[in-house]
Amino acid sequence: MAVRASWRVQVKIDAETIAPPAPLAVDTQGAAKLLGVSPQYLEKLRYLEAEHGPPFMRFGRKVLYRVSDLEAYAESLLVGGGR
């Protein structure tokens, strides 16, 4: 006589316990929030001083910044640090 064990594991997953994936790109508002500057400052960098601002992508009228580019841009502005 074969005995078959039946195991069931119930896992309760709460929507609040699962973090949404980090975005790959953000709009001007999101980029400004990440960098701690105003959206107008980023617009100024885009139009007047493009070589000094963070890289951006343009999809028609929509402007997006890759989060990795924003992090690299912030690191490039680091002054000092005892190097």
pLDDT per residue rounded down to tens, the chain (83 residues): 666 666 676 767 666 667 778 789 999 999 999 999 999 999 999 988 778 899 999 999 999 999 999 999 999 999 986 55
Angle at CA of residue 49, ends 22 and 29, nearest 5°: 30
- Which residues, 6+ apart, have CB-to-CB distance to 69 below 8 Å? 54, 55, 56
Q: Return d(Cα 32, Cα 43) in angstroms, integer.
A: 10
pLDDT of amino acid 58: 93
3-state secondary structure of 5: coil
